[in-house]
Structure 1
């Protein structure tokens, strides 16, 4: 088994035991790694210890049965491996002694204590460590999916359509960077928490964005990746219940994912918002999203960037149709978002909302200004929107040129097929 990577969960032996290993790891891996990091004070070592415990479970559980408290069993094995490692480090005798006192080596692994109150702190510290600003965005995403989400390097690589070796290299570099920078395994002090929380939120948002609209490949939506981001957002919202933007992000993800069932047709082809069957939208997800948005409004002093995006998503979620959407409110929300977190994408979305509220002629100058500034030069989004506006204004040849450019820039096969149909409709 490669160092730091999770072993394959398939092979001979009792399949029930191996399935139990996979299930427990997916649910409890963040807590186990977090607890080991707290015990050892070494983030990279903690993940290696957890992987070693997992490998031992894959051998032991199918043969001897699943222990009564599987997560405690894994934690105990990890702690024993830590003791073995510290035994080999004579300079760390004091830490070994402290660990040995903490762990009753005479007891069975399944009898080990499992403290849920401490575990929550461990998972939160794990999130803050994996998403530390000293790491690149790509490294934060890979490390978070590995140590908090419990995904293998192969699973992360498939999700982002990159080689497994690339993911492994990112994770390895991330661990070395954290070690070299002396990043402590801890929940940051209050004065630094807001900045670091923003990094955690951004990582979860990036994961969901790639899942909800894949940047490349044959599928429009990667449900597993988007679902993992939703799970992480729910965990974070529980861990920091008084942070408005944690609830705002959760609301945004729930309300956006609620439309997934109607966003693709039987063959996986994209279905645009105006053609979606809103009866297919997930009403339970909409209720969860609106509840999270209400919580964000309750605990915060005005909505943050994620909360504002969630409020926009709510406008769509409650509208009976595109025509009956409160576009005036959507425009105002985008204006507020543009002041709080200005970006070309926000401005482009504002242009779309303006076109629905006041017509394409009012929106085109906004898009033209973005184009003149060179914004989103390598993205298909701007020429797609400009092509739509020009089509609605009857400027067919200009619209054709924009949509052809958008098709050349688009990396997702499904979205490119939509652009091809729009070009065909122009005649």
Structure 2
């Protein structure tokens, strides 16, 4: 039995991966068990923003694992304070609550918003509401999928928790209309990733900030995918110059080797947590903290935020040119671009397979959008290598379409 067949026999089929068995990665490259090398233009949904096997991450991983890894938060560990101090400094927040996965950090944010609603705003017990956006993706727990607008995420997993109000993404008037005295928070992604790199209209985040200030509501931003340099700023909301009341981070924070996430907020929000009110066996462990701190240092010292802005502008320009006549839209920021394929032109999934055959790994979402999100460490030469191959695939695809139309 080959490796893929074995995996399919023993692993639940909750994913449908391309039939490529990867064996190792280095920098922006992934190699399969047949020795075929491909460019990673997906970065593990931004979890591998620093590339595969970054030498500084591997060094810290090895050294800290030998010294101390997991003890639980029943004790203090030396790396945690410096890690969270740095994370607060780059985010502009006062305090952080460390967790492991993005979904856990989102659950933490929900708890914080509700407790703030009851203890600070004075919402009646168990009546707090959080406004969310249609098309959101905040994770896969039962609470989170309960307020998803994607039927496949919800099917068969109810009953779901109440307390969430859904409005269209990018519609600040709909948000304002949904706010009531029971509203504790607005929780959104500044750019919707899983939905297909969906951008809100200019000024949307500023308008939400104004609404939250006027109505005494927390603005919580999920920057698990969009944060830590992915969009050409440390955080996507900084493109509009606003400050969030709560910030959710993860993915790239783990340096591509370990799950690290956190919820960040003001001291007034964080003081609502006391011993016993929340916890995580692995959250904030010494190994996670050491890796998280080194990840932040690498992003800063290797100027990855600036590189994302510069390389991303180049990537977007080239993708827009090569997909003219095939794509309905090419959108995004930094090294995070969605190419929305016109269904009349063909299948995004077929294009993803063709790109993989040409040496470029990416992934479609919602049937029509191909996401391009290479590691922020990618060089211009590596990026153009991949884009040249993308251009050849799109050209062949366009040629086939014209031939079939004739």
Tell me the TM-score normalised to structure 1 length.
0.24
**Greater RCO, CA 8 A, separation 6+:** 2
Structure number, greater radius of gyration: 1
TM-score, normalised relative to structure 2: 0.25
